[in-house]
Amino acid sequence: MKARIHVTLKNGVLDPQGKAIEHTLGSLGFEGVSQARQGKFIELDLEETDKAKAHEAVTAMCEKLLANTVIENYSIDLEQ
């Protein structure tokens, strides 16, 4: 099973890199872009075949290592 994890900064946490990206997109002439937020994408191969168990395991991985929940949120997508 593939696990795809997005780690993003929580709302209310300033993202200076996102701001710089937004500013540069504007200077390149891309208009109407706002709220750029930079995050991380992590992909894992899991031996687990049970989706519920896999979700539980990946949630624990996010809580313990992949995300810092002081500043970051995470979302998990599983694909059989």
Partner 1 sequence: MKAAVIVFPGSNCDRDIQVALRQSMGSEPQMVWHKDADFDSVDLICLPGGFSYGDYLRCGAMSAKSPVMKEVIARANKGVPVLGICNGFQILAESGLVPGALMRNAGLKFVCRDLHLKVERNDSIFTSGYATGQAIKIPVAHHDGNYFVDAEGLKAIEDKGQVAFRYCGADGTVTAENNPNGSLNNIAGVYNAKGNVLGMMPHPERLCEAALGGTDGKAMFESLVAALS
* Interface with partner 1 (CB under 8 A): 12-14, 16-17, 20, 40, 64-66, 68, 70-71
From residue 45, how far is each of 2, 5, 7, 8, 39 by CA, in Å? Answer: 5, 11, 17, 21, 20
Compute the least distance from the CB of residue 77 to partner 1, in Å. Answer: 19
Q: Which is nearer to partner 1, 52 or 70 (CB)?
A: 70
Q: Which is nearer to partner 1, 28 or 70 (CB)?
A: 70
Report d(CA 53, CA 56) in Å as an integer. 5
Q: How far is the CB of 72 from partner 1 (least distance, A)?
A: 9
Beta-carbon count within 10 A of 12 CB: 6
